[in-house]
Amino acid sequence: MATVSVSDESFEADVIGSSKPVLVDFWASWCAPCKAIAPSLEEISNELGEEITIAKINIDDNPLTPSKFGVRGIPTMMIFKDGKVVSTQVGAMAKNRIDGWIKDSI
């Protein structure tokens, strides 16, 4: 399963209302660390797609959601479970660290 794009308009339905955990990657096209972790998130999405949804939200195109959740730097990744943030990581990480963080959080 590939990563999915979410927006300010779809966030409530796609993330808060999801029946399974969702990792949300807050990113921007000009952010080099965001680009660096993108391939890892795609791979993790393909590997763990049954267990967790990997969603991406562009902060430039969708400013309301990052503001609502206090995103101050990117990349910021948040894991939502049952509509609530259960874990947050800020900054780029290696794929194995992201994978371990997800498994510890869900």
For residue 42, give every residue at least 6 positions away whose Cβ sits within 8 Å of its Cβ, in sequence order, or none: 2, 3, 54
The question of whether 27 is a catalytic residue gets the answer: no
Rounded CA-CA distance 102/97 in Å is 9
User: Sign of dihedral through CA atoms 46, 48, 53, 59?
Assistant: negative
Could you say which of 6, 31, 41, 48 is catalytic? 31
Could you say which of 6, 15, 34, 55 is catalytic? 34
The question of whether 14 is a catalytic residue gets the answer: no
Q: Which region, left, alpha or beta, applies to residue 26 given φ > 0 means left and ψ of -120 to 50 means alpha?
A: beta
The catalytic residues are 31, 34
